[in-house]
Structure 1
């Protein structure tokens, strides 16, 4: 304010002209335009916002309906899995319910687990038709005697579908006059001759609460029913109110209604949204009706506020524009003082006003800006590399098609009449390079491969970009002319891919898998092409050194993709781990991998089988009481396993990260027992060393363990292997007899558990001389 007063005293005429202009402009900007905007908002935005709220309301209903559909789908999937549980197989035909109490208790616990697995389930019941009709649930297990009950249950058993929904069935877990929506699943799963079924009844109260989520405004109505209308569940307090009946009649009149429409009932307009759930071959229909007043009520209130505020703003603008003109010079003065300070106190000349002086300073800064722009152009390649890298990997998803095209055009891409294709190169076999490269050189190898790809691409394509992921994989984004025939383009791409593989393999000596994506003219689809190409690499043929995977020719349903799993080998591996036989377990895992490679030609099937093997090992350990979280320190083994692609890496990872920690844990638990076993073995050797049939196998049988385990533990505790310990014991005893008696050497050999010829060889091996020479030397000495 002080600076403004100073300027007013020095040049009052300039202030008056400037003041009138600014006052007029501010008045026009703040009042007239604000009034027009307020009216436009009231008359135009009212309708648009109302429609947008209706659309959001309908989308909200669809999302909540999808959530309900997901809950039913999860219940069906969970129930289907239980039908294949070993507890419900054909062995139940011969179950004696009077004496097999533990098995009955196990079935009872399983039913309780099933009932608690989903919040919508009210009760689970098992029905067996053989040898006598029998039911079991959380309340009772009893034979059925009433013929009407037997007929009801057998009617469900005779249904052709192995799994289906029903509504009129009365469970023993419910009241006599109560029915519930029920899912029925025949057991055993997949059998053409079921012996019974499992049923799960839904809790009506929870179903009603779930349906109420489809009416977010707590007004209107919502209900669920099958297409034939045989039953209905309403989210209202009254099940069959007039609005529900009217909506059902409306839907029955025209089944081709759109999924959302307006419906007038009792002078009230409702926004109606409905859809369908496909449930095990039947169709369920959900309907949600909300009054339009509940949806659009906030819009009317806000529009009125806009109008009032606009008129109030008109009056306020008159006052504020007058005040603003008095203070307008303050920022101009601050700008002048700031520029003077930045320019080292440069003073404007007397024949220039502030704006002329600011213009001169602006010209000077523009020159500096051009200089900075030139420096920025020098860094443009780095910026272009960063943008394309982020865009191809999906990090620029917020940009639309036109914005991405504009950015690429700025970076020199000609996008007119172009198709885009992604090529991904995956290097493998680093562990087989025999010292040429080592772990940690992945970035160097990827850099070399990217340079080779760039050099070769320059000879084949006009527009391309190489992306280096620094993890033994690179990608090429290629733009090809759209007027070129598709077959010819694919042929050219495949030829380039084979040439690139041959060159990388010849220089780096590594195996290459290359995936060629489909072509697209939409730039926004490029990140999806990259992801699909990465997934296609999992279908590489393990029997080939190098391979090109063309997604146009990839057939996922090929019989060679069928899943194979050597279950017998898994059981042998687990038994070896439980015995502590690390070497045997590793060998069996190697056999497991080899058998998978022979049977399953694609990486994805081998990977799934190895994940299942890991899960089987961990499951068995947990059943045995082993704390796997403690052994592996909370590491995600499944995530680590997926990162290994080669057989050698998989085998090494299983040995170092899975088998060895387990063996160490098992050994630590057995240390005390094993030490006692070794102590007893030493005592046995000292007492029975003269037995000719005394051996490692004999001692292992005495203590109920394997020769391998006894040998390993004996060496670990005594520091000497079993054979050397026994031999030293016998030789020392033989030396005592040679020096302290006149027994013949053959008798001494027999006394210490050796045959004569073998005794002489062993004695000379340990002492360096024969038994006779030993006696003669020490007696003569």
Structure 2
């Protein structure tokens, strides 16, 4: 209750203060602003009238009206000159918004009046007297309201301009309604009235029309009581106060006076209304606070009550208050968090070792370069501007250690050696990871600066390996064979260099009591390594690609497999033997996957067919079509029914949840499949890409929502699951126009 009351009282106080300031303090300031607005409006009208006078004066001096031929103009014969006069009058009418009609009066040779529609001879004595009076005025340009009806105001310019003996005049009639509309700008609130008077008499005009009202007559009398040329004052009239301003327009020797009167209440009305609303809302809020305090109190306490019940298990609490209990429970949870954090820290080395073991053995084939680098950074390695080197350590001489170790201690010996390698490697290299392959084999992965010269790198590795071998000889009393790979710059090549050092171990010399260092780059130049360089890592990758249904990828890997087999000039026989070995590996993997090769290939002997192919390209083509394609189709046919069922669920889910932050990865996780499998299956079954299908749903629903004029564009974007800026781009990409343009087109179509 206290919170609600405290929240309501400031608004109540603000309402009272605002109301008092609005009525007592702001009145003078608002009146001054109102007077400034009137002065600005009057200046605009004065500028328009000045421009009209200047324009008409320029026309009076136009060569067309100074031509002496006008005195002898024969309307029946001088057709071209008459036609030119009509065009000129029509052009003059369009030069100013105040102009209603422009006429040309010629007194010689015969009085005639030209307008844009026709010409008229002035034959009636009364009409001739009007034009004669205007022509005999002393001024060459003047304003008059004695032309036409009572409300007509006209600007007269004698022609030729500046002549002592004018023979005609241009009569510009003012559009009274447009002039009154301009005068209305002097009463911005549109609740007052504006008068326009000729100080010398003859002109009386009001924005409310004629005859003058009592208020307007009173304003006229009040103005006559003032002597200054312009002034502002308050004028009380019938229980109302009016803010009155008047000023003058100097018009070609005549003085026009404008008088603007606006009710003072309409000037301060907006601020008074806002202050009253603040007052009313504050009073209403206070009333609602008093009425709903008990209900709100219960609602406020309800989450606290549920939290207390959750922490106490619905039993009574022995604490003094709820927040005392929260403090105790918070400390308990903090201690639990620290315990879990310490356990995670203890398990991190195990996770790190498992990751690098999988990387070295090639089980992370499905991951991309950046994904693997990201995981390596997660375990504390920097992989920018580095080169990777793999080392393999093989212990020999275990049988000669009778009495020191017994059978069954192989893992213990390997573990102890791995610790020695790890300790010495971390002393010399910043980034080193030991991988225990067991059975007397230890791997070491080094990340070294990429700018380190090969000569220095090899010398440093040689020195490190010799020191390590001496240490192992001294502690474990076993011999060590070390294989060192070439350096690579891609993490995807790490499994290949480990495969190289693993194969290199087969070429160690069987000499007792001797340590050996094998450089794979040197072995690669010898015929021995060339004869046994079977790409086992690619063998695994090809099998994985077939199991994943990646026919094209498997074909590319087979091509790379053959390139590796034929490197350094291997013979046809060796390539055939390698491909036969690969065929055997694939058939074995198919059997493990539950496939029956006899049912798939019939009675055909694949090994005989492959052995009969002598050309490399034919061999590769045969492998792709006869083996890979058949196995991939079998894998896909097994998965089709399951995938079709999943895609149906995904489509239903997209139509229901398109407005949320969906992605291919999130849907794959939800339906327990991989993003690649889901994308490929969605394209195959639905006939459209996943993201295109989702975008189509969102755009269709957005187009329906855009038909609702009450929804803003950003609200439509949120309702279909887009950010505002991205929604504009994707909508224009698919529809060719922006959402706002689409909405406007549909609105015009209606």
**Length-normalised TM-score, structure 1:** 0.35
Tell me which structure has the larger Cα radius of gyration.
2
**Length-normalised TM-score, structure 2:** 0.36
